[in-house]
Structure 1
Amino acid sequence: MKIQNTTYLSLGTNQGNKLENLQNAINHIDDKVGVIQKISSIYKTASWGFSGDDFYNICIKVTTILSPETLLNTVLDIESELGRLKTNTKEYQNRNIDIDVLLFNNDIILSKSLIVPHSKMLERKFVMVPLVEIADNVIHPIEKKQLKICLQNCNDSSEILKIDEQLVRPIPISEKYNYIAIEGNIGAGKTSLAKMLSQEFNAKLVLERFADNPFLPKFYEDKERYAFPLEMSFLADRYQQLSDDLAQFDLFKNFIISDYYIFKSLIFAQVTLQKEEYILYRKMFDLMYKEITKPDLYVYLYQNTERLLENIKNRGRGYEQNIKSEYLKKIHSGYKSFINTEKNLNSLIIDVSELDFVNKKHDYKYIINKIKEF
């Protein structure tokens, strides 16, 4: 499990459209670093250490799974993407964006590339004033004092002015949704995506316990004989698991994410059961479905049949290797019909046929942005 870290960053700009520069930096940090928890007011100050245009400065609080070194490299990349030109001179210069790592958890880091807490922060009012606004009671790891006390002891006498303009904080997934269900056909990657999202956004993870079902291997050997006991056992287990897990709110998690939704039981039952069996099954399902909490967001991962068969082969579960393309197509048709008819479900379909979100960060970020923008 990846650790959620808290970092405070300082952002400054004195060239071009300063508000736009800061907002663009915030959006990039949200996209590449982590969840932005707080943004200070904007403070206008004279250039510090050189003669230049006035600066706009802010501080932000971010939660991230990045390590300190990766965080620094990511911040430098963001500066570069936003047009900052690095020079070899050590003198202060005008810049369209400047991002500094001030604090990282309660850590003290002394390396060639990164010093945390930032070595100059206590000397600079343009850093300390916006920082104290969002982190007044945070303890400085070296001084062992609250930041608001450190500000009082700051000898910087330069004038600092809070301006009226405000920046927009990107709303994270964890604040938009209490419960997200990730669904898809066999081999679509729903479990992998659910795990990745839960780690990045500190979500309680609910995974389907398909591996514990004794009827599953038997079903793939003799579908007609084992279809009904398989689907009934899955239905009972899914109902019990979702009822228990969704009712237990974890104070240390931001929201809940599952790699299935109970309606998949009905979709698979439509494909596998005989008519009389399905009628009986549907009666049981309808009773349970009324009691289950509905997800705030239902994400369906679509993959074409060829890619599904490739994924199934690569993950190597012996009992799945004889799955036919016709069976997968029927399952997809069931999902499609469900999504089209279940109007009260907040559904988002993402085509991942050409994506490799497990191994390619860009593809993973594409999915995250789809969810954020939905």
Structure 2
Amino acid sequence: MTKPRIFHIALGSNKGDKFKNLQNAVDAIFRQIGNTKLISKVYKSAALGFESDDFLNCCLVLESDLQPHDVLGMLLAIEIELGRTRKLKNEYEARVIDLDVVFAEEQIINTETLQVPHPEMHKRKFVLMPLNDLAPKLKHAKLNKTVSELLEVCEDKSVLEPLNIWLKNPSKTLDFSKYNYIAIEGNIGAGKTSLANKIAQDFNARLLMERFADNPFLPKFYKDAQRYAFTLEMSFLADRYQQISEDLAQLDLFTQFVVSDYDVFKSLIFSKITLNTDEYGLYRKLFYLMYKDIPKPELYVYLYQNTTRLQENIKKRGRDYEQNIADDYLEKINSGYLEFLKSQKDFNVKIIDISDRDFVANRSDYLWVLGEICSE
């Protein structure tokens, strides 16, 4: 997965219910563009350059997978959605909502539709003051000054009043605080690693990822399952046991919780499918000797996808050794997981059917999945 970009967005309104307009914009940005990391104070200031009602202004830090021009395009669409009608170019006017890209990390962009850093931001206190709340040490890529330095030398004489009301960050409505350890599970190609990555990134969680790519027996197993099944399952079990035992024993004061893209119990599910009866009996004894000492997830999320979608995802990610996986094998894995999960009395389990969802490409699907995870 590509690393999300950090954007700093300026918001303003001086028409209608100004505070509500700002909140509606913040909510729409979260729903449609990306995760809202921080929101500044709200400031009141006189209209600059024309006679009109006072403005309310703020800034936010946005994290998005989108390109800068796409972010701008979606911001303009949100303006229209919230009722803004742009008139003559370069003419000041009252507005329901105004949304601008101030920074796109350290990029310098100069096209007809987008200029970053914003060419007027260093002249405007109503941008610099809320931006200074969020990122005083962030450096302007062209002027080579930090936001706080730009604020000190800004010639704008406007007087800004910080308001004692705060915009709500919509990301805070998704509450993971009740869990210390969440395991995301699913069949081959279900998207468990992608989802665990996105949750860790958006909610400051510690990510625990299965080290399957380093297993030298996996490609051999797909070529000759009967010969390498027991060796593969034992190597996975040893590695999963070591990783979970060691990583979960280390407390991390700078993250909220742990999210993993597997649970060690998958070893028993896969081994029941791949091993013969005698091998499975021995494996099961060894598994439970280890399993009793391993921390268990407080929430176990199983991403269910139908076989057709799984095969599409497997083909799309293009791992050579996975391309000939049979439908029957995937169906046995799904059945094994569902049989195990439905029989568990001590697990907090959520089975989420994502067969008609694409939470990687579609943000609304991603937020739907998060809502399902956080729901009571």
TM-score range, shorter chain: 0.7 to 0.9
TM-score normalised according to structure 2 size: 0.79
Tell me how far 1:13 sits from its aligned partner. Answer: 1.2
Per mean C-alpha deviation after superposition, the further-off stretch among 301-310 and 160-169 is: 301-310
- Asked if 1:136 is matched to 2:119, the reply is no
Q: What secondary structure sits across from 1:139 in the alignment?
A: coil
TM-score normalised according to structure 1 size: 0.79
**Paired letter, 1:292:** I
Q: What secondary structure sits across from 1:78 in the alignment?
A: helix
- Residues 164-203 of structure 1: pairs in structure 2 closer than 5 A: 164-171=164-171, 180-191=182-193, 193-194=195-196
8 Å CA contact 2:84–2:96 kept in 1: the answer is: yes
Tell me how far 1:275 sits from its aligned partner. Answer: 5.8
Q: 1:358 to 1:37 in 2, by over 3 A?
A: closer
Once residues 275 and 305 of structure 2 are traced to their aligned partners in structure 1, the CA distance between those partners, rounded to angstroms, is: 24
Once residues 238 and 143 of structure 1 are traced to their aligned partners in structure 2, the CA distance between those partners, rounded to angstroms, is: 50
Per mean C-alpha deviation after superposition, the further-off stretch among 338-347 and 72-81 is: 338-347
- Asked if 1:266 is matched to 2:286, the reply is no
Aligned match of 1:18: 18
Tell me how far 1:10 sits from its aligned partner. Answer: 1.0
8 Å CA contact 2:41–2:58 kept in 1: the answer is: yes
**Paired letter, 1:49:** G
Tell me how far 1:230 sits from its aligned partner. Answer: 4.2
Once residues 39 and 218 of structure 2 are traced to their aligned partners in structure 1, the CA distance between those partners, rounded to angstroms, is: 53
- Residues 39-188 of structure 1: pairs in structure 2 closer than 5 A: 39-171=39-171, 180-188=182-190
Superposition RMSD on alpha carbons, in Å?
3.9
8 Å CA contact 2:304–2:351 kept in 1: the answer is: yes
**Paired letter, 1:335:** Y
**Paired letter, 1:75:** L
8 Å CA contact 1:312–1:321 kept in 2: the answer is: no
- Asked if 1:349 is matched to 2:351, the reply is yes
8 Å CA contact 2:225–2:274 kept in 1: the answer is: no
Once residues 66 and 41 of structure 1 are traced to their aligned partners in structure 2, the CA distance between those partners, rounded to angstroms, is: 26
Question: Alpha-carbon deviations, 1:56-98, whole Å to 9, x = none?
Answer: 1111123334333232223222223333223344311222211
Aligned length, in residue pairs: 372
Unaligned runs of 5+ in 2: none
Once residues 292 and 86 of structure 2 are traced to their aligned partners in structure 1, the CA distance between those partners, rounded to angstroms, is: 60
Q: 1:110 to 1:306 in 2, by over 3 A?
A: closer
Q: What secondary structure sits across from 1:286 in the alignment?
A: helix
Unaligned runs of 5+ in 1: none
Once residues 109 and 124 of structure 1 are traced to their aligned partners in structure 2, the CA distance between those partners, rounded to angstroms, is: 20
Q: What secondary structure sits across from 1:165 in the alignment?
A: coil
Tell me how far 1:121 sits from its aligned partner. Answer: 1.9
Q: 1:75 to 1:251 in 2, by over 3 A?
A: farther
8 Å CA contact 1:137–1:146 kept in 2: the answer is: yes
Once residues 229 and 171 of structure 2 are traced to their aligned partners in structure 1, the CA distance between those partners, rounded to angstroms, is: 44
Once residues 313 and 115 of structure 2 are traced to their aligned partners in structure 1, the CA distance between those partners, rounded to angstroms, is: 44
Q: 1:2 to 1:281 in 2, by over 3 A?
A: same
**Paired letter, 2:98:** D
